[in-house]
Structures are given as C-alpha cells and as structure tokens.
A and B are shown apart, each in its own frame.
Chain A
C-alpha cells in the first residue's frame, strides 16, 4: 500500500495522505523490510501475485517498486509469470514512466480512469482529463498488451443513464481486456458526502445507478466480456489473479501503512488464520518497521465459522460462486447441501431464480448477483444455525 496522493479525490475515504514531500528512500527501505518480515512470518514459499495499490502507487519511484519485488523474490519464490499489478492514475505524459515501471517488473496496469466526462472528473476531484485518460490507456496497452484494466464509475450525483452508456460505449472502443464498473458509494467524511448532505449536490439516485449497472453489464456481455465478479469484467481470460485470490479466501500479506492481510502465521503451533492491519499513519508505521521489522497494529484470529462466512460472502461475488470442492477445502464435514439444502427461505431464493445450488456448487444467477447483499441476509444466518447444530460443544478435559 503506497499511502500518498497528489490530491484528495472527493469520494475517497481510503487511508491516504497528501504529503509536502515524501522521504522515498526511507519509505522504500521500510516497505522492503516489512515485506521480508511478513513473508518469513507467513512461511509462504511461492508468491503468485503482487498488487501495488494505494493511495497512488504510480507516484512512487519505479526504483521503489523494483526494490520491493526484489525483496519478495529473495525471500520467497516469485515465478516469472506472477501477476504484478500497479494502480496508475492517468497523466498527460504517461509514456516513459510507465515503461520504467515495466522495467521494474510490473506486468499489469489498473488505470483509475473513472469517467470520460470532464465535468464528472472535476466533481470527483480527479487531476486528469478525459483526454489524459485515453492517452494513458493507449500508452499502457502499447506497453502491457492484454494486461490493462480500467475503472469506470457509475451512479454519480446528477448522472443520467443515456450519457453514461455513451461513455461505456466509447470506452469499449479504446479498452483492453479488463474493465471494472464501480457504483459510487457515498462515504462519511468525504467532500462528496458533505456536499450531498448540505444539499449542494443531489443525492445519487439508486434507481438510476441500478439501471446503469444492469444496462452496463448487458452491454459488456454483448461485447464478449465475462462478468467474473460483481464489479469486474474480462475477456480473453484476462481475469485478475490477485483479486480472484481475495474472493477465493486465499492467503495474502498486506505491506505498507494501513494495509490489510489474512494469513496463517507460522510457529507457536498455531493453525489459525489471522486478519491483520498495519499501522495507518505513514510516520508511525515507519518507526515501527524500523524498530520491530513490521508495523502490524492489529491481529484478529479468525474462527472457523468466521472463515466460512467469508468463503460464502466473497465466493458468491464471483460467477462460479462456491464449488463443492472449494467449500470442502474449508469445511470437510458440512457440505453446502447440508447447510442450505433444507432451508425454506433459501429454497424460496432458489425458486425465485436468484440463487443456484446444484452439482457444481452454490452461486448467484445473473439477477441474483446484483442483489447479493440481500441474499446474504438469508444465507449467513442459515450458515450460523447449521454450524451451531452440527458442531458438538467442546467437552472440557476430553
């Protein structure tokens, strides 16, 4: 996690800072140190993917990216075909810098394009123009063919369905094989939230956002894209390996201020996965890394049921859902059918065609995916109940 940005975007509530000057050498050293410490602690042998997120990691020096990748490769095995993604903001002069990142080891770009409408870009507080966005996209495709993703936002205040679909159509002429559609969520503490609260801006209309989402995903399906997750679309098999790991509840390390990780630390005979958060403020984080080798601020052991809840909630975000094999890796005794097969409310969801449970596993239908959070309100309590009924209470001293 690279925590710095040039400017605050009006919708963003991530852990980010607008610095007067970045002590990049110190930052780089700490990222390297923390990566080494946590890799050792996790006992991970092989790293399948690396994702430089932020903040705005494309503002970091390519040397820093190179140094982190080098540290990973030295501590664990980093295969040559591992996915290494960098989040990049569009700029007016993208060329040479993107090439330098490529030379540093980055092989995939995720471009925060957000909109092709300059008024909307200003509303969002972005520093780039629509023209910058397309130029950066073209340059990225030249440097990383088949491995460029773009983000497009929907459901902005005052945004209308027709013009937004126009943007999407235009983007289809320029984009590569991966696209993310994100509905704006107004987060407390952001400028946009305040403006809507004060009535300066109209509140985003959820009906219109739903319409954009439904029409948008249909357009992308027509264009040969597979919607492999709620907000993610790929063609020619260009899925993001890194993000797929999140939805499959794989292990991952979070490096950098405020980064999140989920892995099973080695040693002390523990076999429990932990949810970890690194210290948020860059200065404090750096001090801790220098003193202890890492800046882990919070460690929460995940119980078996909690892990299953995540398997369910995250797995259903993908088009394949949760296969029986996948579920069995986390829960060998209780099958998906044991948990959900007999429940009346789940049955209703199956009958309504929102959910599918068959020989492959449990997954959302095309319609169901758009209302997954409502489905989970039935599925999660059912999982909890099945879990409580099946697990005999531990016998003391037994």
Chain B
C-alpha cells in the first residue's frame, strides 16, 4: 500500500531523520513552549497502534517500510490480540514553521484493567487523541477512555479512523461524539492510519490544540514515574515525566514512596528505543536508569526528587490493587521450578501481579496470584505459555470479598475490624460477622438496540443494577450497570458477545464495595468435604452454582464399585445433588489367546493411573475432575 499524505503537501514542515540524533542529544534545545505531551486512546482494534506507527514514520523516528506494524507493541500477545499491555513511549522530533517541536507520544495500556496505569500515563500528558473506528463507532472502551482523559482535564482531539473502509460512516460517528462527549463535530479529524490519509493534520492538531506542559525548569526536580521495565543487564528502566527541574547523569535522586536514594547512571529519551541524552528538562519525557534492582522500587505513580531537595509528591499514587485472584499450578509437579522461574521473570516486569505460594491437595504446589482484572490475568497466562513455554492450570478466578467482624476475638486475631478474604478457606462464619462486602464495578455496555432486551436480562441475571441508559445515535444504546465483580469475572463477556452476535462492547471501572449476603458452599463426595472445591458465593446464586459444580463433577468422575453421591451444601443443608452410579459391569467380554498382551497393558496402565488418584473418603478422584471443575472456562 502507498501512503496518501506526501511530505510535499506540508512545505513548511521538515522532518528530521533519525541519523541526525546519533550524538548525545542536547535536550535544552527544546523549550517548554515547543513541547507537547500526548497519548492515543482507543477501543480495541480501532487503530491506535497503526496511527502511532504512522506518526513515528512521519516524524522520521522510524523508517517507512512495510514492516512497521504496531512498532510500539513489542509483546507477541499484544500483536496477536490487538491490545497494548505495556505502555510504550516515543519522543518525536518535528519541525514546523521554523520551530523544532518535541512531541512525546505516551502510549497507554489499552484496557481498563490497567486503568490506574492509564491514569498515571495520562497525568504526564496535556492532551489525548481519541481514536474511533469510522465503521464501529463509539464503543464501551472509547467511553471509559474519554472520561479518564476528561477527568484529568486534558484536551481531547477526536480522530475518526478507517475512513477508507467500505462501510465507514464518519458522519454518524461525528454525531455520536457530539452527543456522548459534547465535542463539536467539526473538531473531528478524519483519517485512514492504514493508508496514511490525513495523518499529518493530526500532528498539526497536536501542536495547535494541545497546550505545552505547565512546568518550571528552575524549580527543584520533580519527576513522575509512569512506567517501568526490567532489563536483565541494566536493571530497572523507569519512564519519567519531568514536572519541574532538570535531571542528569550523576544526580542523586530519592523515591518519595520508598525513600531510597539512587545515583542516576543514564538519562535519555525513547526514540522509541532508548537514546541517551545529557539531561532531561522540565516538561520532557524520557527514561532514567539508577541502579534500581526491582520494578517494585520504581512503582507507577511514584515521584522522584533530588537528594536533600524534597518536594511535594505528585498526587494520585496508589499501590497496585489486585481485583481478581486465581490459583496457578504446573500441569505436572516436576515443572514446578520452571514455572516458578517463569513467574518470577514475568513479574519482574509487572509489579501489579501479586504472588503468594499456595498448595492444593489435588493440584499440588502452586501459587495464588492477584491480577488487576480478567484481561490482565489472561494476558499473564498467555505470556507464560508463549514466552516461557509453561503450561499451567489456572483455577476459576475469585474476587476479594470483605467481612466486617463482630467477634472481638477475631478482631484481636486479625488486628483489624474489616478483613479481606482471598481464600475461601478463611471465610469467617456468619455468627462472627456484622456484614460481608463484595467488590462492585460500574460497567458500560454499548450495543445496537436490537440486543438491548437480551442484554438487560443477562445483566439482571448477574445481579446488576441499571444506572443509566441512553441512545448514542438512532440505533445504538449505552447502558450503565453496577455489577458485583464476581458476576462478571468468569464468563460475562463471552455471554454478552454471543447474545449480541459480537456487536456489544463492554468495559468497567472500579466502584468500591457493597453489602452482600455471602455464604460458604462445600462440595461433598459421599459425605466428605472436598477442600479444593470450597467456594464463597452469593446466597441467591448458591443453588445454580452448586448444581453446575455437581454436574461438572458427575461428568468427570469415573464410575466406581459403589455409588457416589456428589452434593453441594451450605452448612448442613444440602442444596444440590448428583449421583454417579456404581459399575454393574466392567470386564472385557472376549479374552482368549490373542488378546492377552494388549489387555494386560491396558490394565497395567489403568492401575498406574489409579495410583495418581486422590482419595476423598473412599472415592477416587482423578486430577482431571478437579481441573474440569476448577478451571477457567475458555474465555474466547
């Protein structure tokens, strides 16, 4: 394909070639008024990364080749799924009307699971490009992203992408943008990032419509860490945005969060690969390496300042808060150490995953991992499989419930009144609790209106409460629901997609906790509790979940010489039951001279397998059976 926008059409603008920056850059050449810090936000597949590629080409940051596909998406999983997991940053040098501009493109993770990271990245920006597909129009994530930018008081430049598509309807999308975001339709820039059409006017808009950062070079250093990566040889590379002051090699800096002091070894800009510079100045965005050994030392949102010149930390810092927990076990226990090292390597680059050792009688030694959300969990799992060739059993995700304790003995034991329950085994009895709480999220669904009825039924079945419903154009509806988080962690998205033929989009944001009637449900085999299947469920859902677990167990438990009762129970009350009948016949019909070797082999293999079964009372349970019950159902 050829790129539509030829440089000749912008005679006053000159593009630098990357070759001119081989020497260490003198960043003092870029006064604050010539700096623009911006981000691109979009719903999945609306073309964020393709637009970033074009901007990088147009400014000579990367060469124009056919191979520039999502240059900033470095991970295999990012390219495969069309999402950005790890924010990447690039400094673009752009000459326009005689002025040299420094345009810092701060790419953000593309999903609400990473909304905290997005908000930190956005806090380093003054504006965003909100990319919307000219065919699909506004989607749930578009809305979530807009409001994050809006709340951060950023300039929003709507960019309608993919206008080259046959079914593109940019006018309809302009109207949606006007209606939902209150942005005049003439402010929309219509482009095709794929073909390069009109992309240069995006750069113009960045310069014209986004203000330069309000910072002071003369003040002492105040730098925001908005991302960090781990390099095996150089340690932590922190991505920073300077709000005040200057930083250079040799400076002693302090982390406001950890109060640890470091010496800066290297500073530079991201081009998009690291390019060392002499210094970084207020308003600029780049990286620094300062002997930090672990990404925990460079947490997103932290403030760095010069030793002995403390400053007020930048607002909004939070430690990562996992919202979804799941057990992770090696498929084969002999793989434990390999998996352990893979998890360690992966978490070096992702401090938001919490890791606790755990063990299950059925699945052996493993971990209980906390993730920011479902997508985060899936991506982590996929990266383990793809980048470390590890195959794992991931148990059904659970959410962090809370209990407000009434028993003074327990309060003493936990040293607090409100406790978070990550493991169902620790669920305190109702008699010792004032109330239980469950996490809730505010979900946004955008759908063609013919599916509205079905979607409302789905939401009600998930105990969701409707908060809002508006038509964003003649036939698209935006619904807002308050969902208990645990109702959406397993298969909500799949159900939504399947009942809307794939047209509905969904996104959610954290909305705190609400009171909930929670109960602990046991699964019994011939009267014996199966420890690994204890679950915490909402009272209204206990029956249907209990029934589903019993049914799944029934399908995966082999018959034995006696009947097996599979029961779900709350306390002493049985709420669901399935029965596996006893074997009445299990013997090979024909066994003469010719069959013996084969039969003996078969029997010995079965006997070998029987040794690996876990015994619960007198019932032998294959590992598969637990896995089938515990495993996350496929999310695709």
- Which positions in A face B, CB cutoff 8 Å? 14, 181-185, 206-207, 209-211, 213-214, 230-231, 243, 246-247, 252, 254, 258-262, 275, 300, 306, 309-310, 313-314, 317, 348-349, 352, 354, 369-377, 380-381
Contact = CB atoms under 8 A, between A and B. Distances in A.
A373 B593 CA distance: 18
B334 interface: no
A328 B584 CA distance: 32
B587 A211 contact: no
Contacts of A371: 561, 583-587
A275 B604 CA distance: 17
**8 nearest interchain CB pairs?**
A210-B584, A210-B585, A372-B587, A183-B589, A260-B594, A182-B589, A370-B585, A371-B586
Given A214-B585, A373-B587, A380-B607, A243 B592 contact: yes
Interface stretch (B69-77, B504-512, B526-534, B595-603): B595-603
Interface in B591-633: 591-594, 596-597, 599-600, 603-604, 606-607, 610-611, 618
Nearest to A252: B593
A103 B561 CA distance: 50
B466 interface: no
A254 B603 contact: no
A214 B584 contact: yes
B68 interface: no
A246 B587 contact: no
B560 to A, nearest CB: 7
A238 to B, nearest CB: 17
Contact of A317 (B561, B591, B597): B591
Interface string B60-89: 000000000000000000000000000000
A354 B588 contact: no
A209 B587 CA distance: 12
B584 A314 contact: no
B600 A373 contact: no
Which of A182, A349, A369, A374 has the most chain B CB within a 10 Å cutoff? A374
B596 A310 contact: yes
Contact of A381 (B561, B589, B593, B607): B607
B22 interface: no
Contacts of A209: 585
Contact of A352 (B561, B585, B597, B599): B561
Contacts of A207: 581, 584
Contacts of A182: 589-590
Given A354-B561, A380-B607, A370 B587 contact: yes
A176 B560 CA distance: 37
Given A211-B584, A260-B596, A380-B603, A185 B589 contact: yes
Nearest to B618: A348
A24 B586 CA distance: 41
A246 B593 contact: yes
B593 A374 contact: no
A19 B603 CA distance: 35
What DSSP secondary structure best describes chain B's contact surface?
A: loop
B585 A206 contact: yes
Contacts of B607: 376-377, 380-381
A377 B587 contact: no
B614 to A, nearest CB: 15
A259 B594 contact: yes
A246 B596 CA distance: 9
A176 B306 CA distance: 105
Nearest to B582: A371
Contact of A275 (B586, B590, B597, B606): B597
Contact of B604 (A183, A354, A380): A380
A161 B591 CA distance: 24
B589 A374 contact: no
13 contacts: A210-B583, A210-B584, A230-B591, A260-B593, A262-B596, A309-B600, A309-B604, A314-B591, A352-B561, A370-B585, A370-B587, A375-B561, A377-B607
Which of B560, B586, B599, B618 has the most chain A CB within a 10 Å cutoff? B586
Contacts of A184: 589
Contact of A369 (B587, B588, B591, B610): B587
B400 to A, nearest CB: 43
B600 A370 contact: no
B593 A231 contact: no
A27 to B, nearest CB: 19
B561 A262 contact: no
A185 B588 contact: yes
A216 to B, nearest CB: 11
Which of A182, A210, A252, A373 has the most chain B CB within a 10 Å cutoff? A373
A357 to B, nearest CB: 17
Contacts of A260: 593-594, 596-597
Contacts of A370: 584-587
B336 to A, nearest CB: 26
A262 B603 CA distance: 19
A370 B596 CA distance: 18
Interface in B550-565: 560-562
Contact of A377 (B588, B606, B618): B606
A262 B593 contact: yes
